[in-house]
Amino acid sequence: MDMVILVQDKTQRKEFSDGLKCPFSQSYWNLLNLQIALQAPTLQSLDLLKFELHSPLFKSIFILLCWAIWTSRNGFIFEGIQPTVDGCCRTLKKELDLLQHRVKIKHKQHLEEWLNRFP
């Protein structure tokens, strides 16, 4: 399975950027119309993503994007649940919904725009 790049044996370490650039993650980013610079160093990739998101909530959104991938990975490892991009998107939408209750009023409209990306 493509996502298993995030699953490693005990003798092998993966860079954080491998998780950003694995085929499963790429499908997820593409569905959200986000592009990760595959050849760029990790910090440069994050800077480009920050520019692309152009969001005052960049850190929160990015953390929730990664969280959705991570929970899919854990579901696969610990529960045998086959990860899907749709499942990641459902997790992200649920988490963004929860973020609505904590976000500053001046950022609510931006967060609502993100929530409107999902059916």
Residue 3 domain-assigned (yes or no): no
pLDDT of residue 39: 75
Question: What is the per-residue pLDDT for 96?
Answer: 92
**Both structure tokens of 29:** 């980013």
Tell me what pLDDT residue 116 has.
Answer: 87
Q: What is the pLDDT of residue 30?
A: 78
The answer to whether residue 27 sits within a structural domain is: yes
By CB neighbour count within 10 A (0-12 exposed, 13-18 middle, 19+ buried), where does 106 fall? exposed
Mean pLDDT in runs of 10 for the chain (119 residues)? 43 53 78 74 79 82 88 92 91 93 91 84
The count of structural domains within the chain is 1
Structural domain harbouring 84: 16-115
Which pLDDT score is estimated for 19?
A: 61
The tokens of 20 are what?
A: 């950003």
Does the residue 6 lie in any domain? no
